[in-house]
Structure 1
Amino acid sequence: MKSPHVLAVPFPAQGHVKPLMKLCRQIAKRGIKVTFVNIQSIHEKIVAADKNTSVDNNNEEDNIILVSIPDGRSPEDDPNDTIKLLETLRHSMPGFVADLIEEINGSNPDQRISCLIADVTMAWIFETAEKMGAVPVAFSPASAAAIALVLHTPELLEQGYLDTNGTVTKGDIVSLSENVPAWTKNELAWSAPGDLQTQKIFFDCSVRIPETVNQAKWLLSNTCYEIEPSACDLSPNLLSIGPLLESQNPKSPSNSCSFHPEDESCLAWLDNKPPESVVYVSFGSLAVFSQQQLDELAFGLENSGRAFLWVVRSDLANGSRAVYPDGFLDRVGEVGKIVEWAPQERVLSHTSTACFVSHCGWNSTVEGVGNGVPFLCWPYFSDQYHNQSYICDKWEIGLRIEPGENGIRSADEIKGKIDKMFCDDRLKKNAVKMKEVCAKSVGEEGSSYNNLETFIDHLMK
């Protein structure tokens, strides 16, 4: 008897791999086999970061197998050049994926690849999927608003709101609906103020997405209808199935697909702190700071007098290891805990966590919202500015940490916003309401639950 088999292909970045894996766990939980495909360099990071993952990854206990395909790069290529990697993948990946599907289909004809789920930025792989007899499905790890903006770029270009570089040409904002926060001219997903060449490359990638995504049978989005109804309505074939949270799969033996080893010592540290007393600080996997900005943040946290858990990646300080102000570590002592990477959702769900100083990436946003944690917003680039607008203006569950005229967020500004957060019960109350909305949506018979069931029923046919 033939059974469904899903092939999942994420964009090669932490914020894209992780939510697609969460979706795949939900699919696998229903007894459907999933083969999860990373390029070799990403596969190696995940294996190195998680002690529970073997190189072969032949543990099929949870119906998910991790496999890798070549990056397609030559030894001379810069491994950190994402733009070059994407161009290389557009040419090399279709052949590698076709070979992989052929190999899988040949080894077990009763479990042929019946569906290919790809990140919206990798949707050019759908042509290969259809040639191999697999139903193409697009997955958006960003907000419904972010994907709506991308899908509407052809119209915005045609109507003259944007030029071919992705620059706003009419007014200072782009608005798709009065109920969705507008985008300011320098805060579009592809914006790179002062670097028009890079902006055009990102914009050209965005412009190509609508055509390929329209080939998909479904567009699955890591959001729930109740938190962005108007944005969901802007994309007619969008199915909101989120927020995808680890708490939905508490017993899953799968690894977290983290690129960094998670330091769980922070959980025991949190256990010894009073309820809602700790400021959690994390800027995701890509943001980098100048030494001056890092110093201001350190002083802001210290001067707040609050307990803090701070995630400092080894490359956070302009790509190199952080240097703290003289005597900082001695002065903060047990009041502060610094780790290179944290099990974020377990931190956010911990009773001691009071608020989240965040770059406002969509994964962090829905993880904070799903756990009822208010935000102090510090966006870095791309869609993070629009997510900040949702958090502060639409949902009213956070405050902006504002940069000064020199672009630096000062210690006084950081301390002031932390103080304000602990004085404003309204933010916490609103955050708890949002948590309840999300829980209802993913709970039995909720909108996201029903949408996911619709999709899985289709896979089973």
Structure 2
Amino acid sequence: MAFHLHIGVLAFPFGTHAAPLLALVRRLSASTPGIRFSFFNSSASNSTIFSARVSDSCDNIRAYDVWDGTPEGFSGSHFEAVGLFLNASPGNFEKAIEVAEGEIGLKVSCLISDAFLYFACDLAEKRGVPWVPFWTAASSSLSAHIYTDAIQNAEGSAETADKPVSFIPGLSMVHFTDLPPEIFLDKNPSPLALTIYNMVKNLPKSTAVVLNSFEEIDPIITKDLKSKFQHFLNIGPSILSSPTSTNPDDENGCLSWLEKQTRPKSVIYISFGTVISPPGNEIVALSEALEALKLPFLWSLKDHAKKTLPQGFLEKTRDFGKIVSWAPQLQVLGHSSVGLFVTHCGWNSVLESISSGVPMICRPFFGDQKLNGKMVEDAWKIGVRVKGGGFGKSETIEALNYVMSSEAGKEIRENVHKLKEKAENAVKLEGSSTKNFKTLLQIISAPK
């Protein structure tokens, strides 16, 4: 196939950043067959998100590996790996872009990047092409970061900590303690915090800021951020706008187990994402709460964390519970038997829960997760946070009963269904996300 444009895509290969970016690129590529997309990412991340089952419609996407900055035999933490990767950038990306341009014989005409990779702004400026950063989280967390300077100026004393950030449109119920720690650079001068701060300074230079979300979830925030960028484009939820084909064969038997459940909306699904597991004492507390209530549950728990389960727990809960090392989350949440999601509150998980109409119990760990949990409970009213910030047996029993059995729980369920409808309307033919996606197509397809 002859390509007339060449778009470079710069991924951030940690957590669940690269996969949503690739989902966006696949959606764009299906609408622009004459454009070649070069996807620049670490080899480890590329091998995880690209599979042999990529359809023919993705022939115009080519993956390129960039150096992740780690020495041979590296065995450090997730956060150390992030620091090393950022130290190796942007040189690692520039080399890979040169290789791709040489292979295809076309200079890059547009750069799409994870928003964290703020240096893509300079790379695009140097080439005289548009920069389109993709923010992989919610508009609420982007707004909080955009107002970093105002937050730091206002946050000067211990009394401030439990006060709302009332000066940020749409976040009037959010307290300083709910904000991502990366905002407070003086207390948390990590490589990622510095990167996000540089991102905030560069984002206004972008041609468009793109989010996997929908305008109607936070209309006040949407209006405010539209005033700050050339284009502020919510184009999701991608799982509703461009659903991916799923493999019916489930090696862990999650779906067949769900099929055997006799009562709709009765199963508690538990998963805490790909990066972190709760500490051992919290796994014990959650286990004891599940055993006490005897509610059916499906728990996706990493193998190393299973060692901290209480002795005899698996035998005692065998009749109503199932623990697996991995679950097809989207299919699980979409199953009629599932009535609650116990989650770390990462944005992808929150969006999948909303799109499936499933309420949440939130146990955040880092980054934007605490803010997401606050929005889930107090802004959207589609779930609750665990009291005290971590699982205790009595607090967990209280939260489970509250959502699954109480009158207030019924209201939460109604709220999440209303939000699901708004998400579905956004991706319809005349919906806000569909219109924003068409704008994005025009931006990337314009010849340079």
TM-score, structure 1 length as denominator? 0.85
Whether contact under 8 Å (2:240, 2:427) holds in the other structure is no
Say yes or no: does 1:428 pair with 2:413: yes
How far is 1:86 from its partner? 4.2
Q: Give aligned pairs, total.
A: 434
Match of 1:273 in 2: 261
Larger CA deviation: 98-107 vs 390-399: 98-107
Whether contact under 8 Å (1:181, 1:394) holds in the other structure is no
Residue 413 of structure 1 is aligned with which of 395, 400, 403? 395
Within 5 Å, give how 1:57-456 maps onto structure 2.
Answer: 61-75=58-72, 78-80=75-77, 82-83=79-80, 85-109=81-105, 112-157=107-152, 160-162=153-155, 172-177=163-168, 179-190=170-181, 198=188, 202-235=192-225, 236=227, 237=229, 238-245=232-239, 248-251=242-245, 263=251, 265-274=253-262, 275-315=264-304, 317=305, 322-403=307-388, 408-423=390-405, 424-456=409-441
Larger CA deviation: 128-137 vs 334-343: 128-137
Please state whether the residue corresponding to 2:215 is helix, strand or coil.
coil
How far is 1:387 from its partner? 1.2
Residues 200 and 169 from structure 1, CA distance in 2 versus in 1: closer, same or farther, beyond 3 angstroms? Answer: farther
Letter in 2 for 1:302: E
- Quick one: distance in 2 between partners of 1:366 and 1:268? 24
Deviation track 1:135-155 (CA, whole Å, cap 9, x = no partner) reads 211110111111111122234
How far is 1:200 from its partner? 5.7
Please state whether the residue corresponding to 1:121 is helix, strand or coil.
coil
How far is 1:216 from its partner? 1.5
Any stretches of 5+ residues in structure 2 without a counterpart? none
How far is 1:359 from its partner? 1.2
- Quick one: distance in 1 between partners of 2:186 and 2:159? 13
Whether contact under 8 Å (1:297, 1:410) holds in the other structure is yes
How far is 1:197 from its partner? 5.4
Letter in 2 for 1:441: A
Whether contact under 8 Å (1:11, 1:121) holds in the other structure is yes
Residues 420 and 87 from structure 1, CA distance in 2 versus in 1: closer, same or farther, beyond 3 angstroms? Answer: closer
Letter in 2 for 1:118: S
How far is 1:100 from its partner? 2.3
Whether contact under 8 Å (1:246, 1:345) holds in the other structure is no
Please state whether the residue corresponding to 1:66 is helix, strand or coil.
strand
How far is 1:302 from its partner? 1.7
Residues 133 and 342 from structure 1, CA distance in 2 versus in 1: closer, same or farther, beyond 3 angstroms? Answer: farther
Residues 223 and 119 from structure 1, CA distance in 2 versus in 1: closer, same or farther, beyond 3 angstroms? Answer: same
Deviation track 1:327-364 (CA, whole Å, cap 9, x = no partner) reads 11111114111111222111111111111111111111
Deviation track 1:234-253 (CA, whole Å, cap 9, x = no partner) reads 22322111222177233499
Tell me the C-alpha RMSD between the 2 structures.
3.0
Please state whether the residue corresponding to 2:201 is helix, strand or coil.
helix
Match of 1:259 in 2: none
Residues 182 and 62 from structure 1, CA distance in 2 versus in 1: closer, same or farther, beyond 3 angstroms? Answer: farther
Residues 221 and 439 from structure 1, CA distance in 2 versus in 1: closer, same or farther, beyond 3 angstroms? Answer: same
Say yes or no: does 1:13 pair with 2:2: no
Residues 155 and 295 from structure 1, CA distance in 2 versus in 1: closer, same or farther, beyond 3 angstroms? Answer: closer
Whether contact under 8 Å (2:165, 2:171) holds in the other structure is no
Whether contact under 8 Å (1:186, 1:192) holds in the other structure is no
Deviation track 1:89-137 (CA, whole Å, cap 9, x = no partner) reads 444332332232222222223x542221111111113212333454211
How far is 1:312 from its partner? 0.5
Letter in 2 for 1:299: E
Please state whether the residue corresponding to 1:220 is helix, strand or coil.
strand
Whether contact under 8 Å (2:233, 2:436) holds in the other structure is yes
- Quick one: distance in 1 between partners of 2:25 and 2:94? 20
Any stretches of 5+ residues in structure 1 without a counterpart? 254-261
Residues 167 and 137 from structure 1, CA distance in 2 versus in 1: closer, same or farther, beyond 3 angstroms? Answer: farther
Whether contact under 8 Å (1:181, 1:386) holds in the other structure is no
Deviation track 1:418-447 (CA, whole Å, cap 9, x = no partner) reads 222222322212111111100110121100
- Quick one: distance in 2 between partners of 1:41 and 1:266? 27
Match of 1:256 in 2: none
- Quick one: distance in 2 between partners of 1:333 and 1:173? 45
Deviation track 1:359-378 (CA, whole Å, cap 9, x = no partner) reads 11111111111111111122
How far is 1:303 from its partner? 1.6
Match of 2:4 in 1: 3
How far is 1:5 from its partner? 2.9
- Identical positions, percent: 27
Residues 287 and 76 from structure 1, CA distance in 2 versus in 1: closer, same or farther, beyond 3 angstroms? Answer: closer
Letter in 1 for 2:218: E
Whether contact under 8 Å (2:116, 2:199) holds in the other structure is yes
Whether contact under 8 Å (1:442, 1:448) holds in the other structure is yes
Residues 391 and 457 from structure 1, CA distance in 2 versus in 1: closer, same or farther, beyond 3 angstroms? Answer: same
Residues 263 and 176 from structure 1, CA distance in 2 versus in 1: closer, same or farther, beyond 3 angstroms? Answer: farther
